[in-house]
Each structure stands twice: as structure tokens, then as C-alpha cells.
Amino acid sequence: MARFRSLRWRLTLLYLSLLAGLLLLGGVAQYFAAREVLFRTNADVLASEYTAVFGAFHKANASRPAAALRAVILSQQFSNELRSRNTSAAIFDLNGGRVAWAAASLGTDEVPTLTNQAYIDAVQGKGKTYYVASGNDGTTNYLVVLNVIRNGTRPLGLAQLAIPTSEIDQTLRADRELAIIGSLLVLLIAGLLSPLIVGRALGPLEQMAATAGALAAGDYKQRVPVPKTGDEIGKLAVAFNQMAAGIEQAFEVRRQSEAQMRHFVADASHELRTPLTSIAGYIDVLARRTVVDPETLQSSLAAMQQESTRMTRLVNDLLTLTRFESGKAPSRQPVVLDRFLNQALDELSLADKGAAESRDLQAGVTVRADPEALKQVVTNLAQNALKYAPGAEQRWSVFETDGRAAIRLQDTGPGISRQDLPHIFERFYRGEKARDRSTGGSGLGLAIAKSIVEAHQGTMEAASEPGKGATFTAWLPLAA
């Protein structure tokens, strides 16, 4: 039952019923047209028969005076002349009264009659080409033609010629049977072919349903072939494939972000384990001794404090990172960058830490930002330069170009190697020279700077020519 509810069957049925309806309509119209043609043709034949017989009869009696001519025309003799094998004849006067008649020489004896009014109408020139009259037995029908008998232009009476319609009916019956058989044959062929044709046209839809099932089951690589017809189904297939590609991409993004998250958790755990192991080691050493001299105690406590400071810094860095990467918009206010950077760099007092610092700050460049977060960016960049380019010059600049504001730090340190440069903004990534834990940080400084700048709809850039220093630029949208 469900099978017949499918679109394929519904379309087939619709198509077949439409075809059957059209065939029926065409058949009926054709039947009536053929009937009319046959009746008219036969009527024409009867009319010409009359003309021929009357012509000859009139010629033979032309010498008679008018009254005698009229009498002989309205007589049994003329009606006998008119009748033939299949045709009955009858003569009527101008009032529609039957004055003579002759049945056909073969067939029934019957001479059909029309209503009196029909005869009067015919005399007055309002007659029809032909009439159909039913016989007394109720089964035979007659085709009746009325001809006005004229002597010159003067009407004398009416001559009725009638033939049974049985031959016409037979032709029509044969015609009807042929039409019915032809229509049934056409319907049968259409019935056999249309499920195939419709099925072929709808094939891509079934394929789409199967593919959608496969997509739902997790096979995101599945696509449907696009038919080259360029029709609605073709367009649907294109749209379907676009949707499938979208789903695949979305799942790929999710898979990647899950992988990144696992990576991140693993890295963070690893980073936390190192100081914890170290602290546990010191505690172990102290616990084994019954007597601990004050110097060992002091140095162990100092080392443990250093590790705990490192751990606290790491945890704070992780919190900052997750805060800015969570996608929550920072609380912003207008920040005039030259004023802001002057203050931030003054607080960092880089000169005291051995860096030669210079400033080239364009006045009045304003952005909308969270000043605390922006200060963290500056601090991370400055501390990196202190760590990786110790004693080198730090050139700080603020400028505006192409509708964007920039904070840039250029140092004259050793720069960043080509292998490291594409990765330095990754979380926990430490450059080759920074792997030594005594100098290197946790590898989160630049990742934090980047996530802060991106949370402000900006971008973070790094460039370096190894041996000639590194340049970091934070690009931020200008305040409207």
C-alpha cells in the first residue's frame, strides 16, 4: 500500500488518468464529427439523387400544361420514380399533407414521417439539410432529406427521400470499436512505460534519500550525482550536495576543535605536572632526612616557591586565554593609543631591565578596547623581547594606516627562525632556543596576545629576519 503512496505511483496514476481522460474526450469528439460527416455525405447523395430523377421526370413531362404537370409531379408515379433499392420516397403538398409514397424496394416497408411543422418549415425554405426519424418498430432510424419540388421558381410540393441509418451506424460502430481498441492499446503502452519513465526521472530523488540516510549515519563524504538535465531535480541535487558539503565541513571543524581541546588539556596537564613533580621531589628529600640543616631547608623552600610561582603564572595564563577565547566580547572604552602606551611602558620601566627603548607614537590614534587586556598584550611582547633579545633595542611605535590602528614592537635581537615563525602564536609552542625551561616561558604569551587582539576584531602579526630582530604588530580597528 505504501508503495502506491509513493510519488512515482502517484505521478504515474495522474499521468494515466489524464491520458485516459484526453483519449475519451478525443474519442467522443471524433465520433460525433465522423457521424456528422457521414450523415451529411449521405444527405448530399440523396439530394443529388432527387435532382437527377426530378430533372429527367420534368424533362419527360415538360410539354404538359402547368396544372397537369403539377398533378403528375404530386403523384404516385413520381414517388415510384424517386424510390430505389434502399430509399423510400414520399411526396407532400405545400401544406405538408402526404399525397403519395413508395417504400424502398428492399428492406422495410416503412416510409418514415416527420412532424407536420417540419414539412411546412421546409416548404418555406427553413428546412434542415437532413433529419433523423425513428421508425415505428423503435429500432430502425432513418436519415430523411426534404427537397422542395419547383417548377421554375414556383414551389409545387415536397419530395422526401429516406434511407435507414443502419449502414452509417455500422460504420460508426466499427469506427468506435477501433477508437476504443486504439485507446486501450495506447493506455496499456503508457501504463507499461510511464512507471519506467517516471522512475527514471525520480531516480535522483531516491538516491538523495539514501544519501541523506548515509549522512545521518555519519558518512559525511556521501554525495549524489547531479543529473545533467539542469531541471528542478538537478538544482535540488546541487543544493543537496552543497548542504552535504556544509555538514561535512561543520563536522570537520568540530572534530578539529575537539582534537585541539584534547591537545590543549594534555599540554596544560603536562605543563602543570612538571612543577608539581619538582615540588613533590623536594618534599620527598626533606621527608627522608631526620635532621635538615637550615641552608638545605632554605634552598628547598626557595625552589618550591619558584615552582609554585611558575604554576600560579601558568594557571593565570590559562585562565586569561580561556577568557578571551570563549568568544565573550571584552568590555570596551575609547583608548588613545599614544597616551596608553606611554603609560604602559613607563610602568614596565624597561630601561631598568637592560633594554634600550625608543618610542615613535602618532598622537591621537584611538581604538575601542579593554585597556587592561591591551596592557597584557604590551607586557607579553615586552617580556618576550627582554627574554629572547636581552639587551637589544626595543622600538615601540603607534600609527594608523588603511583605517586600522597599529601597536608595533621592533627589536634588534636574534630574531625568530624560519621553522619557528609560523608556530609562535600556537598555544604552548616554544621556539627552539626557548625550550630551555630556565629562560623560556610556558609558550602561552603570544597565544594570549593573539586571542586578546582577535577578541577586539584585530589581527596579530609577526615578522622576522633571523639575526636582525623580530617585529610584532597588533592591528586594531579604529574607533568610529
- Positions in the binding site for ligand ADP (CB under 6 A): 384-385, 388-389, 411, 413, 416, 420, 424, 429-431, 434, 440-447, 470
Instruction: Choose between 8 and 395: whose C-beta lies nearer to ligand ADP.
Output: 395
Quote the least distance from Cβ 375 to ligand ADP, whole Å: 16
With cell 615601540, the residue in question is: 396
Quote the least distance from Cβ 249 to ligand ADP, whole Å: 29
User: Considering only CA atoms, which of 133, 142, 152, 130 is closest in space to residue 47?
Assistant: 130
| Residues 32, 22: Cα–Cα separation, whole Å | 16
Residue nearest to ligand ADP (CB): 431
Instruction: Choose between 168 and 424: whose C-beta lies nearer to ligand ADP.
Output: 424
Backbone angles phi, psi at 148, to 5 degrees: -80, 125
Residues 6+ apart with CB under 8 A from 402: none
Instruction: Choose between 350 and 389: whose C-beta lies nearer to ligand ADP.
Output: 389
With cell 627603548, the residue in question is: 357
User: Considering only CA atoms, which of 88, 99, 92, 78 is closest in space to residue 120?
Assistant: 92
| Residues 374, 380: Cα–Cα separation, whole Å | 10
**Distance from the first to the final alpha carbon of the chain:** 67
Quote the least distance from Cβ 403 to ligand ADP, whole Å: 28
Instruction: Choose between 271 and 338: whose C-beta lies nearer to ligand ADP.
Output: 271
Residue 408, classed as helix, strand or coil, is strand
With cell 639587551, the residue in question is: 391
Instruction: Choose between 149 and 460: whose C-beta lies nearer to ligand ADP.
Output: 460
The secondary structure element, H or E, covering residue 399 is strand 393-401
Beta strands in 85-124 (DSSP E): 88-92, 98-102
Backbone angles phi, psi at 37, to 5 degrees: -60, -45
Quote the least distance from Cβ 425 to ligand ADP, whole Å: 7
Quote the least distance from Cβ 455 to ligand ADP, whole Å: 17
Q: Where are the alpha helices (DSSP H) in 289-336?
A: 294-325
Instruction: Choose between 49 and 411: whose C-beta lies nearer to ligand ADP.
Output: 411
Quote the least distance from Cβ 224 to ligand ADP, whole Å: 46
Instruction: Choose between 89 and 447: whose C-beta lies nearer to ligand ADP.
Output: 447
- Evaluate whether 106 touches 87 at the Cβ level (below 8 Å): no
Quote the least distance from Cβ 320 to ligand ADP, whole Å: 13
